[in-house]
Amino acid sequence: MAHQDWTTVTLTKSKTSYKGNSKNNKKKGNNSSSSSSSNNNKRKKKVRPDEQNEDFRTAKVGKNFSVALQSARLKKGWKQQQLAQQLNVRQTVINQYESGKAQPNPQLIAKMNRILGVKLPSIKKPGGQKKKRKKNQK
């Protein structure tokens, strides 16, 4: 036990000065509470134009897909858990599809069509439909 040091160690704060130190602000004649609040009001976070319009919401499924999936599952007499096992996904995923909270990928829709023996309605891609251009006739 000769290698242990049992002396008392006392930790204190260092005496470094910061830009926001209240003592420095009082020497300059500034009140730290009023100047910091006014600076916060003046400063606004600059946002790039491409970041302003971003939408982070999850794409949702229409009611017709949800109802069709649920009715096809019930015709087979399966619970959500049984369908999830057939599709190799979790039961919560099936629940989200049936409640319209999540949008399945096309491969999973094809697998559901095959397993359930029905043709589920197609899902429209988010962003709407693009208009076709009309060619000018001479």
Q: Each residue of 48-84: pLDDT tens digit?
A: 655 566 566 666 777 888 999 999 999 999 999 999 9
| pTM across the whole model | 0.50
More reliable by pLDDT, 43 or 32: 43
Question: Which has more pLDDT, 125 or 131?
Answer: 125
pLDDT recorded at residue 69: 93
CA distance to 4, 5, 13, 112, 117, per residue, from 105 (Å): 63, 64, 57, 11, 18
- Can you tell me the distance from the alpha carbon of 119 to that of 103, in angstroms, rounded to the nearest whole number? 16
pLDDT bracket for residue 137 (50, 70, 90): low
pLDDT of residue 11: 86
Q: What's the confidence (pLDDT) of residue 71?
A: 94
Looking at residue 113, its pLDDT comes to: 93
Q: Which residue has the higher pLDDT, 128 or 7?
A: 7
3-state helix, strand, coil in the chain (%, to 5): 45, 0, 55
Identify the CA nearest to 111 among candidates 127, 133, 88.
Answer: 88
Q: Is 75 helix (H, G, I), strand (E, B) or coil?
A: helix
Q: What tokens were used for 18?
A: 């910061």
What is the amino acid identity at position 2?
A
Q: pLDDT-derived band of residue 102, with 50, 70 and 90 as boundaries?
A: confident
Beta strand segments in 2-134, E: none
* CA 77/CA 97 separation, integer angstroms: 18
Taking the C-alpha atoms of residue 118 and residue 113, their distance in angstroms, rounded to an integer, is 5
The pLDDT of residue 91 is 94
User: Cα angle vertex 52, ends 50, 55, to 5°?
Assistant: 100
